[in-house]
Amino acid sequence: MTPYWIFQLRIYPWLPSLVYQAKQVRKSSPKLPSQSSLLTLGQGENHVLLIGESTVAGVGASAPAHTLAGNFYRLFGESYQIETIGKKGLRVKDALSLYHQHRKSEAPKSKGVILFLGANDCFLLTNPIAFKKEVETLIHQIQMTTSAQWIYLAAIPPVHLFPAFSKRMQSFLQVQRDYLQAELEQIAACNPKVIYQEIPMDLQPEFFSADGVHPSDLGYQKIAELAFEKLAENIQ
């Protein structure tokens, strides 16, 4: 992979146009509510914590039952409690403070932690070196606090395939994603507690909600089922 600074040089002349396009997408897209920003489902003895950006917050889902949390609760079963802490627009560097903001009292011990992050770090062109350090810090601190036996680290959403974006924007987002993805893969390779999973790229139109960015109910169902299948292979 070529040095990141070369990519920065390539994208720099296009930044004004890309920023304008992003604003237009935001302006013209439907404003979809969050369905699971702070949501706890079930009372089982096995606690699983979800932390992340708009996918964890359930943007695009029609109801809490159709979010990642709702689908995970259905898949894990009644012996589990599924808790989400999610926020639209969340970057990795802010995830730990968001967690502590909603965990002022003693945190419950968790069977595992599920992380869905990275899309906003693609949009805002986070430097890969900084991104890696932020993810490593988040994983270490969350694992220490929750005593989680495993950390599920989802691949960055395929931002370069979002229908709402222009071909030019998709092209640059794909390169940025590749740099950040490489860092996630290195983190997972060095940490036996991390369960990393790539996302299949054959996404159909019905995978997306009305804004062309966030998952639909079907999209959330597919993501949760894919993750659960991976977890079932790696945990008991």
118-156 pLDDT, tens digit per residue, is 999 999 999 999 999 999 999 999 999 999 999 999 999
Residues of the chain with pLDDT under 70: 104-107, 201-202, 236
What pLDDT is attached to residue 82?
96
Question: What's the chain's length in residues?
Answer: 236
In a domain, 230, yes or no: no
Token pair belonging to 115 = 């992380």
Phi, psi of 148 (to 5 degrees): -60, 135
What pLDDT is attached to residue 212?
84
Q: How many CA within 13 A on the CB side of residue 83? A: 20
In a domain, 224, yes or no: no
What pLDDT is attached to residue 107?
67
What pLDDT is attached to residue 174?
94
The CATH number covering residue 62 comes to 3.40.50.1110
SS3 32: coil
Q: Given CA atoms 131, 49, 36, 75 in this order, what sign does their dihedral have?
A: positive
What pLDDT is attached to residue 106?
67
Going from the C-alpha of 159 to that of each of 59, 97, 119, 164, 177, the distances in angstroms are 15, 25, 7, 10, 8
Domain that holds residue 61: 1-11+34-174+188-199
Query: Distance from CA of residue 74 to its chain's centroid?
Result: 20
Q: How many CA within 13 A on the CB side of residue 143? A: 15
Task: Report which of 42, 43, 13, 35 is spatially closest to residue 220, judged by C-alpha positions.
Answer: 35
Q: Structural domain tally of the chain?
A: 1
Task: Report which of 75, 98, 88, 81 is spatially closest to residue 36, judged by C-alpha positions.
Answer: 88
